Every structure is written in C-alpha cells, then in structure tokens.
Homo-oligomer: A and B are copies of this chain.
C-alpha cells in the first residue's frame, strides 16, 4: 500500500512541511527507517536521529524546530506518538479490509449464513447451521464446525480450528493454529487400570474484543461452556482446559496453562509459563509472575504471586534471597556448632 503525505496529514489533522506529493509505503522506527518510510519523533532524546534518518517523512510535534537541516518531509501534529499509532492502526485495518470475497475452492455446509463484506479464503471449511456476522475474515484452511456462531468484525487467521457449537463474539481476533472447542481431558479410572473417556459435549463461548494467540488450545466444557470474557487477551501456546472461566480484561502470557474448572477473575495479569491447577477461584486483579505454580485459590483482590508452588510475592522474594545464600547459612551453622562444642568443652574442664 502506498499513501501520499497529503493523505496522511489529512488523516492526522496535521500540517505538512515539505512536499505533500511524496509517497510512503512503509512504517518504521526513526533509527531503522529507509527511503519510502514514514517515522515519528516524540521523545526529544532521539532528536539526533532526525538529522540522519533515511525516512521520507517524519511526524513531529507542532513546535519542533530543527537545529540542522532535515532531508525528510515533516508532518506537524499535537502528539506524534499517538498520531503514529493511528497510522499503524489504519495500516493494519487497510490490510485486513483488502481481503474480501470468497476464494475457491472453499466449503460451506447447509443452512449456514455469512454476513456482508466477508473474506473466505481458499480451503476454508464452514460446517452446517453456522451463523456468521458482517466483516468477518476467514483466512485459508480455517475449520468451523457445525452450529458455530460468530459475531461481527471477527478475524480468524489461516488454519484456525473451531469445533462444533462454539460461539465467538464481535471483534475477536484469533491467530493461526489456535484450536477452540477440542475435547476436554476427562477419563474415569477403571478397576483394570484402563481409563474410560468421559464424553465432552459442552462448548466454548468467547466474548467481544478478545484476542487469542497462535497454537493456543481452549477445550470445550464437559457440559455447559468454557467461557472467555470480554476483552480477554490470550497469548500463544496456552492451554485453557474444560469448564474454565476467564473474567473480562484478563491478560494471559505465552505457554501458561489453566486446569479444568478453574475460574480466573477479572483484570488479572498472568505472566508466561504459569500453571494453575484445577477447581480454583482466582480473585480479580491477581498478578501471577512467570513460571509460577498456583495450587490454591486466591480470595484477596490485588494479590501478587511468585514461585512454584507460588506464595505472596514479597515473602517469595525473601525466601529466594536466602536460598541463593544457603551455602553461607550452612557455614554459619557449622561455625555455631563448633563454638558451642568449644564452650561446652571449656565448661566441662
């Protein structure tokens, strides 16, 4: 995609200093920008870069006055960082919007309806009785089972798999390889040492404004629904087991795992590679540090947890600080033992 500075200045409500006919086709940091790029200068400590940048255009503060010649054209705005973010968003939006229509071959089952302005990539599969909203982008090789409902403005990248009867909200974005609605891991032990599979007939319900990362797995409920609340952000390679509920605006970083029937509160922050066992309740605004292992419910809002098994952060840091010095601690005990021995011997003398 290519835009003139005039088009960009209009989008930003900014003023051009230089040639408005200049075209840019890339967006880059000021220190990495090449010819044809647009960049920005917000923090004054990076000002030097503007005199050497290869960028064709730089967004700067209204009151910016260069100390040396600048070869790039300038766009003057109130808040360069926020203007730059607007360009990023417009760029990404334009990329997504450019995908429209239905590529062939693709497969659509019986009685499924799809809203306007959709994209259905080649080799995408949509089962029977699906209801899909407007502006939905279904990339190639996506699989959507029977009876799935999907809201408006939702994007499923290449190879996403949605099992039958799941429901996705509006403005949901799911990255490639993510699996939604796979069978939960439930097996009843038998007397002969084998396990009998417990049928998993529930589904997954995903709210609005949810982002889910690549190759993440969210299992369906045994009965009822595994629920991902509005505004939840889930990173890559995460395991969310059957009947889990994740409260709204909670963020979960890569490779974490949440075991069956656990309820995570709202506005929690769960760092990477965290494990949370099953059937727990985690209070709102809980923060869990990377690689922590949570084995107990958390009832107090705003708790921060660390370690495996995890306990309250400050206590965990104190214990770890001493752990690092355990050899010193042991030596001090040995010295004490020696001194006591000497004292006892002397006493006996």
Q: Which A residues lie at the B interface, using CB under 8 A?
A: 27-29, 32, 85, 88-89, 91-92, 95, 103, 105, 107, 121-123, 125, 139-141, 143, 145, 157-159, 161, 163-164, 173, 175-177, 179, 182-183, 185, 187, 193-195, 197-201, 209, 211, 213-215, 217, 219, 223-224, 231, 233, 235-237, 239, 241, 249, 251, 253-255, 257, 259, 266-267, 272-273, 275, 277, 290-291, 293, 295, 308-309, 311, 315, 318-320, 322-327, 329-330, 332-333, 336-337, 339-340, 343-344, 346-347
Given A32-B223, A217-B254, A275-B291, 9 more contacts at CB 8 Å? Answer: A28-B224, A175-B182, A185-B233, A214-B217, A214-B219, A237-B257, A255-B257, A308-B308, A336-B336
Q: Please state if B253 and A254 are interface contacts (CB–CB under 8 Å).
A: no
Contact B201 A27 (CB under 8 A): yes
Q: Which of B125, B183, B197 makes the CB contact (< 8 A) with A122?
A: B125
Partner of A141, one of B95, B143, B237: B143
Instruction: State how many copies of this chain the complex holds.
Output: 3
Nearest opposing residue in chain B for A93, CB measure: B199
Tell me which residues across on chain B come within 8 A of A125, comparing CB atoms. Answer: 121-123, 140-141, 158
User: Is A88's CB under 8 angstroms from B199's CB?
Assistant: yes
- Assembled-state Cα–Cα distance A342/B185 (Å): 59
Listed residue (A28, A105, A125, A249) with the most chain B CB atoms within 10 angstroms of its CB: A125
CB-CB < 8 A to A157: which residues of B? 161, 163, 182
Given the interface contacts A209-B194, A333-B336, does A176 sit within 8 Å of B141 by beta carbon?
A: no
What distance in Å separates the Cβ of A245 from its nearest Cβ neighbour in chain B?
13
Asked if B236 and A213 make an inter-chain contact with CB atoms under 8 angstroms apart, the answer reads: no
In the docked arrangement, what's the CA distance between A193 and B231, Å? 9
The 8 closest A-B pairs by CB, nearest first: A143-B158, A182-B214, A88-B199, A92-B199, A322-B326, A161-B176, A107-B122, A175-B182
